[in-house]
């Protein structure tokens, strides 16, 4: 059993992402380009090019579901240091 620090919690607001049902809109936002910075609770989906958000801090190895493209992702850090999803299925 590892002694990891507890994950931080985040309040999410609706960012107007209308491609998923209203109930889940706060968990997604559009990628705003090269100058966009991801928060510790956000992961970039390489399939549909959006950002998946979580109420908890996201760490490498976590699994995320992207409802917009129906893809299961495993969180990895790319060469630039961004948390991105690696497609599992």
- Residue 25 CA, chain-centre distance (Å), reads 13
Residue 1 reports pLDDT greater than 50: no
Longest dimension (CA), the chain: 41
pTM of structure? 0.86
Tokens representing 21? 């049902």
Tell me the domain boundaries of the chain. Answer: 58-89
What confidence tens digit (pLDDT) does each residue in 36-56 have?
888 999 999 999 999 999 999
């Amino acid at each position: 059993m590892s002694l990891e620090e507890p994950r931080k919690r985040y309040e999410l607001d609706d960012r107007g992402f209308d491609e998923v049902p209203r109930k889940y809109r706060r968990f997604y936002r559009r990628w705003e380009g090269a100058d966009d910075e991801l928060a510790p609770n956000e992961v970039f989906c390489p399939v549909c090019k959006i950002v998946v958000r979580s109420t908890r801090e996201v760490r490498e190895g976590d699994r995320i579901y992207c409802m917009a493209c129906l893809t299961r992702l495993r969180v990895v850090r790319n060469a630039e240091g961004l948390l991105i999803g690696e497609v599992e299925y």
